[in-house]
């Protein structure tokens, strides 16, 4: 059954009184004004208008977040063969309702026909549904031209890893309707440097990921047009020389944008803090890298013939094992985590570029959405409630291109969970763990 989602005509003119940062400073209370899908301006609220702002000082507004790496959410994945355009729409709305209003559906290494089918479905959904086209800013192709070596390869299936092929890229781009905006590859594999030149010359961003390249190869890749690093600190060997190594070389290369998974599990808080300090502010990007179980209730589940545990903190891994299965928190949680991990006494507003303007710059989009309400920019924003100690950012209202698509009180839009996960009993989990070597 098709789910109905609120996508009315954009309003002729509308305004909203908001707080631009958490706290009691009355000078932060602002009137956002928009006409149709674009802001016409933002001005300080007068005394009478200030009474209309949310009473809770932890409620504030920001541009919607931009996630350049997300594989799935709420029981659906972008490679699921049975989704089709309608299922893609459900998946996109589930991501949107987390406060991520723009993203790159990520299609990872698989058989060529599987990757092509996934890209076809995303493209078809964008053509059919204007609400999907409004939130999908392109497609992130992650693989199959990655390292075949255990460790750097990560969870990408070895049997589908292959050498870079411009012809295959063209076929995938055709299936995607020209929507591939970001390609992740390993620069040390044969033909990768040439492919970087080929792809980047077409205006498509190339990131280095799932690789074990040395410093010289990394510099050659940058010279050929590589622009960033996919999930810096992950997709590499678990043990490596203290120095030099692939982590330090990429962190030190100021020309490279760096995506980091700040869920608190893929990288420890101390590593995130160091990488945040190492990269220039206009090169740091937060990503969720969320998988289909993101957004599910905490508990024990049957996954791939094993028992997995999703904790209340968002850690998704094998039961009582240090091995992770995937990321399971939205980008908003990563932003809230960065505030805590950086430990600078600031609010989420200080780190907004890493989830708004910097990812836009990575894929070559002109313009900026900061400051919020700048005339001519898309009227897309989120009203959040920030919980400092949790830490969390919970959407209270979401506006996309002038349209209110969610309000926690008056319009609590929901998306049904996709594939129902098979819950495991505690006794089953304990027996499974005891059977492991």
CB 78 within 8 A of CB 72: yes
User: Cis link prior to 402 (omega < 30° from 0)?
Assistant: no
Q: Comparing C-alpha atoms, which of 231, 224, 254 is closest to residue 68? A: 231
Instruction: Name the catalytic one among 67, 263, 289, 292.
Output: 289
> Phi and psi of 168, rounded to 5°?
-65, -40
- β pairing state of 205-208 and 228-229: parallel
Cα Rg of the chain (Å, integer): 21
Give 308-373 as a DSSP string.
EEE-TT-EEEETTSS-EEEE-S-HHHHHHHHHHHHTSS--GGGGGGGGTHHHHHHTT--S---STT
Question: What are 255's two structure tokens?
Answer: 């020309």
Is 250 within 8 Å of 232 (Cβ atoms)?
A: yes
Helix (H) or strand (E) holding 221: helix 215-224
Give the C-alpha separation, 410 to 391, whole Å: 25
The two three-digit tokens of residue 420, written as one number = 């129902």
CB atoms within 10 A of CB 83: 22
How many Å apart are CA 334 and CA 267, to the nearest integer? Answer: 11
Residues, the chain? 437
**Token pair belonging to 285:** 């990007």
Q: Of 28, 32, 31, 35, whose CA–CA distance to 10 is shortest?
A: 35
Cα gap 249→389, rounded to integer Å: 34
Rounded CA-CA distance 328/295 in Å is: 7
357 flagged as catalytic: no
Q: Are 6 and 413 contacting, i.e. CB atoms less than 8 angstroms apart? A: yes
Contacts of 277 (CB under 8 A, 6+ apart): none
Q: Specify the 3-state DSSP secondary structure of 378.
A: strand
Q: Report the catalytic residues.
A: 289
């Amino acid at each position: 059954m098709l789910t109905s989602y609120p996508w009315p005509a954009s309003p002729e003119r509308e305004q909203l009184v908001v707080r631009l940062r958490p706290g009691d400073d009355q000078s932060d209370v602002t009137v956002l004004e928009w006409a149709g899908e674009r802001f016409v301006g933002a001005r300080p609220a007068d005394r009478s208008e200030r009474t209309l702002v949310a009473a809770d000082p932890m409620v504030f507004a920001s541009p919607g977040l931009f996630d350049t790496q997300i594989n799935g959410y709420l029981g659906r994945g972008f490679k699921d063969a049975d989704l089709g355009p309608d299922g893609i729409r459900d998946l996109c709305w589930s991501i949107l309702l987390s406060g991520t209003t723009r993203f790159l559906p990520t299609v990872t290494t698989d058989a060529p026909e599987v990757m092509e089918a996934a890209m076809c479905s995303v493209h078809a959904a964008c053509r059919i549904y204007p609400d999907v086209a409004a939130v999908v800013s392109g497609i992130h192709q992650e693989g199959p031209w990655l390292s075949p070596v255990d460790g750097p390869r990560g969870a990408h299936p070895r049997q589908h890893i292959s050498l870079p092929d411009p012809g295959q890229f063209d076929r995938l781009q055709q299936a995607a309707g020209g929507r591939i905006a970001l390609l992740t590859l390993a620069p040390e594999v044969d033909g990768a440097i040439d492919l970087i030149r080929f792809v980047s010359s077409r205006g498509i961003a190339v990131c280095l990921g799932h690789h074990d390249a040395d410093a010289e190869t990394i510099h050659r890749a940058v010279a050929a047009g590589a622009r960033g690093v996919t999930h810096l600190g992950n997709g590499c060997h678990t043990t490596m020389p203290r120095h030099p190594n692939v982590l330090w070389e990429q962190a030190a290369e100021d020309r490279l944008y760096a995506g980091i998974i700040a869920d608190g599990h893929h990288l420890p808080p101390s590593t995130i803090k160091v990488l945040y300090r190492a990269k220039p502010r206009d090169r740091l990007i937060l990503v969720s890298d969320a998988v289909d179980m993101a957004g599910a209730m905490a508990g024990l589940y049957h996954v791939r013939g094993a028992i997995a545990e999703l904790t209340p903190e968002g850690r998704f891994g094998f039961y009582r094992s240090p091995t992770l299965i995937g990321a399971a928190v939205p980008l908003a949680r990563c932003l809230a985590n960065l505030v805590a991990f950086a430990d600078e006494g600031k609010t989420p507003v200080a780190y907004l570029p890493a989830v708004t303007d910097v990812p836009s710059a990575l894929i070559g989009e002109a313009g900026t959405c900061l400051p919020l309400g700048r005339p001519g920019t898309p009227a897309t924003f989120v009203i959040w409630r920030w919980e400092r100690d949790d830490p969390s950012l919970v959407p209270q209202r979401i506006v996309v291109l002038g349209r209110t698509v969610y309000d926690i009180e008056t319009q609590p839009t929901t998306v049904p969970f996709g594939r129902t996960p098979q819950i495991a009993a505690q006794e089953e989990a304990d027996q499974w763990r005891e059977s492991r070597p």
